Amino acid sequence: MTEAYIYDAVRTPRGKGRNDGSLHEVTSVRLSTTVMNALKERNNLEGHAVEDVIWGNVTQVKEQGGCLARTAVLASDLDESIPGLAINRFCASGMEAVNLAANQVKGGAGQAYIAGGVEMMGRVPMGSDGAAIAVDPTVAMEQYFVPQGISADIIATEYGFTRDQADALAMESQRRAKAAWDDNRFAKSIVSVKDINGLNILDHDEYMRPATDMQSLGGLKPAFKEQGEIMPGFDKIALMKYPHLEAINHIHHAGNSSGIVDGSAGVLIGNKEFGEQYGIKPRARIRQTCKIGLDPTIMLTGPVPATQKILTDAGMSISDIDLFEVNEAFASVVLRFQQAFDVDPELVNVNGGSIAMGHPLGATGAIIIGTLLDELERSDKEVGLATLCIASGMGAATIIERV
């Protein structure tokens, strides 16, 4: 089978959105074209250089509807002969786009792809698509649906994680993110967002709160306690599914959960011949990909079975992995991953994660693959694994290896 290589990976900084950030006049199409144009320019691509653009996006309504991938291609500097495919695997949409592209290349369906995703959460609010899993009682009741914050607290309760543990992980994420920015570790991948006059309006991750400490986190109220205990009482639904828990321990709040932000990211993937044609060197090969389904109520434990599956499929063990990127949707997700595999926390999310920098849903999967690649190169390590939890009970993972 043909090898699939990563030739380049870029992302926009993550902005805080229309209400309190700098991107109030920027659309999801604009963020997408910023990334697509950067990949074209940086790699001197011409004409029908890539077979397709596969673009992840979760809330596919309004300006993010109507096959955003194709709209962005037409609005970009890419050739109109390149089609576009919009996909949605919730929080792993950007990763799934990369994985689909890699497997298309491996299967011989074209020499190269641009893959990634976008989410403009400040303009198209999360949940505004009215997903059936949440609003259709014939589905929601049968599947014991609860919101993701409740699921995160279920994980904390089931696996014994405390508020202090979650807050400590959040504080460390902030510290690492600041250190990474101070050390210019993201410089290779960051593409600034510009206004119509070509002036930078976003050149760093806006969401970070580097002054965060345990005291400031300790003053925050649990975000999902009332939702669980009072109205609409999702704890009762959770306890119907998991009666052995007796009560849900609500430990998550705004400071140890991922931030609502805007962002886009893209990865250029191709075979060996593609690189030779355009005179560019591959940076890594995509060694293995996977996706998995699991319990839709606890929902966010996907990184554990996804990692187990991808390691088995690749014939590898956890000790073969040098670095890990585990999306910080909530602190308990990462704590559970570290607990399950007994991995050194110093190898997980080395440069911070979504708690510190935000989680633009459709883009994050591609963001963490690019971040992982940059860090493998910076630290001169070889193999990395990226993984995400996914709404409604799924998980996804990607293993990359430097070449």
Q: Which distant-in-sequence residues (6+ apart) come within 8 Å of 371 by Cβ?
A: 186, 189, 325, 351
Helices (H), 50-185: 68-75, 93-106, 132-135, 137-140, 148-159, 163-182
3-state SS, residue 264: strand
For the purposes of burial, counting CB atoms within 10 Å of the CB of 286, is it exposed (0-12), middle (13-18) or buried (19 or more)? buried
Catalytic residue chosen out of the listed positions 91, 250, 253, 290: 91
Q: What is the dihedral of CA 244, 246, 250, 256, to 10 degrees?
A: -20
Per-residue DSSP letters for 31-72? HHHHHHHHHHHHTT--SS-SSEEEEE-S--SGGG-S-HHHHH
Beta bridge partners of 308: none
Residue 290 is among the residues annotated as catalytic for this protein? no
393: left (phi over 0), alpha (psi -120 to 50) or beta: left
Has 67 been annotated as catalytic? no
H or E segment and range at residue 11: strand 5-11
Per annotation, catalytic residue among 252, 253, 290, 389: 389
Beta bridge mates, 400: 286, 384
Taking alpha carbons only, the member of 318, 345, 319, 342 closest to residue 331 is 345
Task: Tell me the Ramachandran region of residue 160: left when phi exceeds 0, alpha when psi lies from -120 to 50, beta otherwise.
Answer: left
Whether 91 is a known active-site residue: answer: yes
d(CA 37, CA 41): 6
Structure-derived torsion over alpha carbons of residues 382, 289, 395, 136, reported in degrees to the nearest 10:
150
Q: Are residues 291 and 56 in contact, defined by beta-carbon separation less than 8 angstroms?
A: no
From the CB of residue 382, how many other CB atoms can be counted at a distance below 10 Å? Answer: 14
The Cα 133–Cα 142 span in angstroms is: 10
What b-and-e string marks burial along 345-357, b requiring 16 or more CB atoms within 10 Å of the CB?
eebbbbbbbbbbb
**What single letter denotes the amino acid at residue 280?**
I
The C-alpha atoms of residue 66 and residue 20 are separated, in whole angstroms, by 28
Catalytic residues: 91, 359, 389
